[in-house]
Amino acid sequence: MSGDQGARGRRDTIEVVCLDAAGTLIHVRGSVGQQYAAVARRFGVDADAAALDAGFPAAFRAAPPMAFPGARPDAVPALERGLWRDLVRGLVERAGCARALDAVGFEAYFDALYAHFGTPAAWEVFADVRPALEAIRARPCRTALVSNFDGRIVPLLRGLGLAAAFDAVVLSSRVGTVKPDPRIFEAALRALGVPARSVLHVGDSPREDEAGARAAGLHAVLLDRDGRHPGVSPDARITSLLELLPRLDGRA
């Protein structure tokens, strides 16, 4: 934490730690392109993993936000799926494997891909996550997930053995707005019944996580595992979730 928020963080008692999902708790096994190509091979298609990897960031940025304001809750899963279907379709076209996938059935490929990314086979838990969650909850602090991930994160957390570590799961597609909009953080505060000053949010995006949480009045720390954001103050940045523990004890 930095500036007046850092000083305030030493006065306030943190009762809840909120965490982002992808890039904070979990990461794709290998790479996105490798996973897409591996599923394509099940259908006899030799997709270029490097081309898929190269195209994915732009495709992801160009996709609509994972939020559907005003949608009925029972309609949200189909809307999530449709968003991902359009993203994948555009990506395989740019990567040059759409024609081959069409020949074997693009919809069947997408169905298999979508299901795959909802299973632990597609993901790995960062090594610091389990010990950090255990230590946070032993303080005791409650924990919540606040994420722009889609609804597959719920069964995925169960499959990865992480579900029991969270007192609340707040998703953009359920709230109707994505981080960094303060309303998703406010939804987490309502779910937990705590004031913003007693909550610390941790995530790997300077804009979505750190800035978004601060705008909602929460304390915030950027998780910068790979040193990609050296310009962020050391008071507001950690490289491992285990570095949170001294902050929760008022020693940093």
CATH number at residue 201: 3.40.50.1000
Q: What is the mean pLDDT of residues 131-151?
A: 96
Domain that holds residue 65: 28-121
Same structural domain for residues 106 and 141? Answer: no
pLDDT, tens only, 16-67: 999 999 999 999 999 999 999 999 999 999 999 999 999 999 999 999 999 9
Q: Point out the domain boundary residue: 121, 141, 173.
A: 121
**pLDDT band, very low/low/confident/very high, at 83 (cuts 50, 70, 90):** very high
- Confidence band of 210 (pLDDT split at 50, 70, 90): very high
Looking only at the bridges linking them, the beta strands covering 123-125 and 237-238 are unpaired
Which CATH number do you get for residue 41?
Answer: 1.10.150.720
Q: What is the mean pLDDT of residues 169-179?
A: 97
17 with 75, same domain: the answer is: no
Query: Which residue, chain included where needed, has tokens 């759409």?
Result: 98
Q: How many distinct structural domains can be found in the chain?
A: 2
Split at pLDDT 50, 70, 90, the class of 252 is low
Q: Are residues 109 and 161 in the same domain?
A: no
Residue 38, token pair as written in the block: 């591996």
Quickly state the pLDDT bin for 251 (edges 50, 70, 90): low
Do 93 and 53 share a structural domain? yes
Please indicate, yes or no, whether residues 52 and 91 belong to a single structural domain of this protein.
yes
Q: Could you tell me if 169 and 135 lie in one domain?
A: yes
Task: List pLDDT tens digits, range 222-241.
Answer: 999 998 998 888 889 999 99
Query: Same domain, yes or no, for 139 and 241?
Result: yes
Q: Are 16 and 142 in contact (CB under 8 A)?
A: yes
Helix, strand, coil % (nearest 5) of the chain? 55, 15, 35
Nearest one of 95, 102, 89, 85 to 44, comparing CA atoms: 102
The 10s digit of each residue's pLDDT in 104-133 is: 999 999 999 999 999 999 999 999 999 999
- Average pLDDT of the chain? 94
